[in-house]
Amino acid sequence: MNTCRLYLIRHAPALKKDGYVPENNPKAIINSDHLKKLAAYIPDNSLCYVSPLKRAIQTAQELSKYRNFKEIVIEKKLREQNFGEWQGKKISLVWEEIKKFKTQHNFSFLSPENCPPKGESFLDQCKRVSEFVNNLNFHDHTSLIFISHSGTIRAFLSQILDLDPNKAIGIEISHLSITSIEVLKKDNIRNKGGKYRLLSVNNKFI
Q: How far apart are CA 103 and CA 30, in angstroms?
A: 37
Please state, as a whole number, how many other Cβ atoms lie within 10 Å of the Cβ of residue 174. 13
Strand ordering across the sheet containing 69-74 = 69-74, 46-50, 143-148, 3-10, 178-184, 196-203
Reported as a pLDDT band with limits 50, 70 and 90, residue 190 is confident
Reported as a pLDDT band with limits 50, 70 and 90, residue 191 is confident
Residues 185, 141, 138, 145, Cα dihedral to 10°:
130
Domain range list for the chain: 3-203
Q: Which residues of 85-100 are buried (b: 16+ CB within 10 A; e: fewer)?
A: ebbebeeeebeeebee
Residue 5, H or E segment: strand 3-10
User: Is the pTM here over 0.85, yes or no?
Assistant: yes
Q: Which residues contact 130 (CB under 8 A, 6 or more apart)?
A: 155, 158, 159
What is the chain's mean pLDDT, rounded? 95
Reported as a pLDDT band with limits 50, 70 and 90, residue 194 is confident
For domain 3-203, is the CATH number 3.30.70.360?
Answer: no
Residue 188 has pLDDT above 80, yes or no: no
- Give 110-142 pLDDT, tens digit per residue: 999 999 999 999 999 999 999 999 999 998 999
